[in-house]
Amino acid sequence: MAEHRASAQELPTRRRILSHFRKRDPKIARVIQAIGPFRLKRNRKYFVVLCRSIVSQQISTAAAETIYSRFEKLFDGHAPTPERMARLKDAPLRGAGLSRQKAAYLKDLSHRFLDGTIRPHQLNYLGNEEVIDRLTLVHGIGRWTAEMFLIFSLNRLDVLPVDDLGLRVAVQNIYGMKARPDAKRLRTIGKKWNPLETVATWYAWRSLNADIVNY
């Protein structure tokens, strides 16, 4: 299995980023110039990241934080792990505020880690689509969640989440479009960004929200 080089790359320097986008997409280059350095913090706690993503689905940020805090307390001061998750009964999960469906998703996630479907140390050596294929085998994890994992847990530099609403809104603003671009239009624009699609996406998000994007 060939190593996916993007997973092992250091974050590009501001000089490299600006040089690339000034040649390929001056509109994004101007955003980069205005915002400042590219910062992307890697979260290596893969199981925890995916648990949090499942808990947070389709609810407000405030509600997600409350429920996740209750969820963490079920582990008696320890970090959630596949083994500990697999031992939990449904009742305490439901008592923490999780729906029956999300509780089932979390159980499935733990089983996928335990049966080797998802091998944390192997993920760095898989291509982007291979990682997405593995993660989306878990009930409750879709392509968008897998793409966020690629960006924030593996720090892949060439991820273009075309279904992300924030990216669509930001690109509409940056390009002065009358309507939000669809996935096909974003892919066309993203060709100019290659191989730094993640970088352009991060700056697009920052153009909407000055806070450091995290996951």
DSSP-assigned letter for residue 120: G
Q: Can you tell me the distance from the alpha carbon of 60 to that of 56, in angstroms, rounded to the nearest whole number? A: 8
Write down the H helix ranges in 2-158: 14-24, 26-35, 46-56, 61-73, 82-87, 90-95, 100-114, 128-135, 143-152
Question: How far apart, in Å, are the Cα atoms of 171 and each of 15, 146, 147, 206?
Answer: 23, 21, 18, 11
Q: Are 170 and 204 in contact (CB under 8 A)?
A: yes
Residue 127, both tokens: 């291509």
SS3 171: helix
Between the two ends of the chain, the Cα-to-Cα distance in Å is 28
Residue positions annotated with a catalytic role: 164
